[in-house]
Homo-oligomer: A and B are copies of this chain.
Amino acid sequence: MKLFEWEAKAVFREHGLPVPRGRVVKDPEEAAAVAQELGRPVVVKAQVLSGGRGKAGGINFAGDPAAAQAAAARLLGMMLAGEPVRSVLVEERLDIAREFYLSVTIDPALPAPVLMVSGAGGIDIEKQAATTPQLVFTQPVEIARGLQGFQVWNLLADAGLPPAAMHQGVTVATELFRLFRQRDAELAEINPLALTTAGSLVAADAKLIINDNALFRQPWVPRTRAHFDHDLEYEAAQHGLNYVKLSGSIGLLCTGAGLSLATLDLVAREGARAANFLESGGANYRNAYHGLRLVLGDPEVKVLLINTFGLVSRADVICRGLADALKELGTVKPVVAAIRGTGEEEARRIFWEELGIASCPDTESAVRKAVKMAREAQ
């Protein structure tokens, strides 16, 4: 779950991390009011989840409240990388002497959390790690032991943090790691970490991604409509489903992420496009019902393609749920199915006897049949 900058900064503030003064607003008048309160030049930042906001013109400086209002008016409602700007963050403009990069992320190959620092901030860290790796300093952290103070000292000194800023830097990095651990983050990033002309460190930007698997123990994580790209994706999340809206005519309902991806590819190979990616998490009836409702509720869907290879979820249990849901939803759209896995005889019997749907013998034939039917339906 990726958070908006203003949400991440609110979490940072709770952890005592230094962030610029400011507030998130939803209309231009409020932006002017915040600038007035701050009483100094401000920066007005579009709040979107996608990257590359700065280059796309999403960050504006404003010398006075009127300029802040104008900037907010320009940004609000604008589209940035396909995402509407629903709010802007108005913050004091910092007097920056130098920029650093600081983050805690995960190295899956170790595997371990890694504290990462660079003396060049405000940059694309992945690009920098590729081109000038000597400027990027990393410290993997053993989870059982935690981050040790001296590891932070080593790293910051190596990255060239000036001696006068070392004590604050150690505090900031230590707390950022604590936040990462306590909040079940996948990424906690400050880029740039600004060293002001007055000599203090401030998180000019903030990025926070919370691990989806940990949401059950992180109830504070916001999950509003704005956090999703599409109404259907938002609705799917309410039911614990992972649904991704695509633009095609074949609605997909497959068991397992890998088989879903492969089916997606096969549809494309046949020259058609899938309407969605959907991993139907479990075997139970409500999941099947909500998953089907989402897929069939998409007006672009012409044909429904069901592809199961029952595993943890047994084919008979899945197909029982799907058959009941199909009957309840009473769809008129055509259905193609490939049913395999544990309990497949019973599963095929249910589909044939109750719905009149014959299972295809394999994925390829089912995909070809679905694509053909979708073409005919257009």
**A146 (CB) vs chain B CBs: closest residue:** B144
A143 CB to closest chain B CB (Å) equals 11
A145 contacts chain B at the CB level, 8 A cutoff: yes
Instruction: Give the secondary structure class of A's interface.
Output: loop
Distance of A76 from chain B, by nearest CB (Å)? 48
A325 to B145, CA, bound (A): 48
Closest B residue to A142 using CB positions = B144
The contact string, 1 if C-beta is below 8 Å from chain B, for chain A 115-152, is: 00000000000000000000000000000110000000
Residue of B nearest to A145 (CB): B144
Residues from chain B with a CB closer than 8 A to the CB of A145 are: 144
A144 to B146, CA, bound (A): 10
Instruction: Give the distance in Å from the alpha carbon of A145 to the alpha carbon of B146 in the complex.
Output: 11
What are 2 A-to-B residue pairs whose CB atoms are below 8 Å? A144-B144, A144-B145
A145 vs B143: C-alpha distance in the bound complex, in angstroms?
Answer: 10
Q: Nearest chain B CB to A90's CB is how many angstroms away?
A: 41
Q: 2 closest A-B pairs (Cβ-Cβ)? A: A144-B144, A144-B145
Smallest CB separation, A205 vs chain B (Å): 35
Query: With the chains together, A114 CA to B102 CA distance in Å?
Result: 40
Q: Which residues of B contact A144 (CB under 8 A)?
A: 144-145
- For the complex, what is the distance from the CA of A145 to the CA of B144, rounded to whole Å? 7
How far, in whole Å, are A315 and B144 apart by their CA atoms in the complex? Answer: 45
Q: Could you tell me the distance in whole angstroms from the C-beta of A141 to the nearest C-beta in chain B?
A: 14
Write the A145-164 contact mask toward B (1 if CB under 8 angstroms, else 0). Answer: 10000000000000000000
A321 shortest CB reach to chain B, Å: 34
Within 8 A of B (CB), among A35-71: none
Cα distance A144–B142 when bound, in Å? 12
How far, in Å, is A30 (CB) from chain B's closest CB? 44
A207 to B: closest C-beta gap in Å: 31
Min CB–CB distance A266 → chain B (angstroms): 46
Shortest CB–CB separation between residue A268 and chain B, in angstroms?
A: 48
What separation, in Å, do the CA atoms of A102 and B62 have in the docked complex? Answer: 66
Could you tell me the distance in whole angstroms from the C-beta of A338 to the nearest C-beta in chain B? 43
A82 CA / B144 CA spacing, docked (Å): 48
- Minimal beta-carbon separation of A147 from chain B (angstroms): 14
CA of A351 to CA of B147 in the docked complex: distance in angstroms?
52
Report the bound CA distance from A218 to B219 in whole Å: 31
Shortest C-beta distance, A330 to chain B (Å), equals: 47
Per the bound structure, the CA–CA distance linking A144 and B143 in Å amounts to 11
- A84 to chain B minimum Cβ distance, whole angstroms, is 47
| Distance (whole angstroms) from the CB of A5 to the closest CB of chain B | 35
Report Cα–Cα, A144/B145, bound state, in Å: 7
Distance, CA A289 to CA B145, complexed state (A):
44
- Minimum C-beta distance from A220 to chain B (A): 23
Tell me, in angstroms, the Cα distance from A145 to B145 when the chains sit together: 8
Shortest beta-carbon distance from A194 to chain B in Å: 34
- The distance from the CB of A148 to the nearest CB of chain B, in whole angstroms, is 12
| A112 CA to B145 CA, complexed, in Å | 17
CB distance from A44 to the nearest CB of B (A): 45
Cα distance A169–B186 in the bound complex, in angstroms: 36
Q: Nearest-CB distance from A174 to chain B (Å)? A: 18
A142 to chain B, nearest CB (A): 10
Question: In the assembled complex, how far is the CB of residue A112 from the closest CB belonging to chain B, in whole angstroms?
Answer: 16
- Residues of A145-197 whose CB lies within 8 A of B: 145
CB distance from A229 to the nearest CB of B (A): 41
A190-215 near B? 1/0 per residue, CB < 8 Å = 00000000000000000000000000
**Alpha-carbon gap, A217 to B144, bound state (A):** 23
